[in-house]
Amino acid sequence: MHFPERLLTDVTAIAALIEPAATALGLDLVRVVMIGGKSDPTLQVMAERPDTRQLTIDDCADLSRAISEIFDPLEEAGRDPIDGAYRLEVSSPGIDRPLTRHKDFADWAGHEARIKFVAPVGTAKQVSGIVEGIDGDTIRITTPKGEQLVEFANIASAKLLLTDALINATAPLSTEGADNIEVDPSLTEDEMAETLSKEG
């Protein structure tokens, strides 16, 4: 479901830990990755409500708490899923969202996207064009040079490009981007609640 973070850590197990909690809150996970490198390691969790494709501040806070409730007992038992200190960032995908799941390439057919490859296709390291859909594991992209087929397994990253058509299609989503909240995993539940109240 989620492209693995190839450079920093395998987040497949982390996504599997988080997904049931997100589902229980009525949310779909869009992406789970580690970003920031060694200088600022951050677990970024993107989620959305399927009906609105957005995440409210309350949704962010609820999912952040749910993740902490999963991770805290593991940390206390010496089985922290992430080594060392890190930040937790929960956000909506925003308008120019990443495309991480098979269904994203069907849902956002007709819109422009940029896809970066794991292994070059010919001499190309990426392709930009209009997503036409997905057949099995093959995404169809219309480019100025014609249709190109991209294998899902060869996608390093993919995201929609911000266009007038996309903005119109996602109205009334704000063009200001994703609502997000960052939580220090070392905070107690009371401290986190106080932080969330200040953020709100």
Query: What tens digit of pLDDT does each residue of 37-95 get?
Result: 889 999 999 999 998 888 889 999 999 999 999 999 988 888 888 888 899 999 999 89
Q: Which residue has the tokens 């749910």?
A: 66
- Domain 12-93+178-199 and domain 102-170, same fold? Reply is no
Other Cβ atoms within 10 Å of 131 Cβ, number: 24
In terms of CATH architecture, what is 12-93+178-199?
2-Layer Sandwich (3.30)
- Asked if 54 and 171 touch (Cβ cutoff 8 Å), the reply is no
Residues in the chain, pLDDT under 50: 1-9, 174-179, 185-200
Q: Indicate the residue type of 136.
A: G
Please give the pLDDT value at position 147: 94
* In the chain, domain spans: 12-93+178-199, 102-170
Please give the pLDDT value at position 31: 94
- Asked if 63 and 47 touch (Cβ cutoff 8 Å), the reply is yes
Please give the pLDDT value at position 168: 87
Look up the CATH number of domain 102-170. 2.30.30.100
Other Cβ atoms within 10 Å of 45 Cβ, number: 26
Q: Is the dihedral of CA 62, 51, 108, 153 positive or negative?
A: positive
Please give the pLDDT value at position 140: 97
Please give the pLDDT value at position 51: 87
**What's the pTM?**
0.74
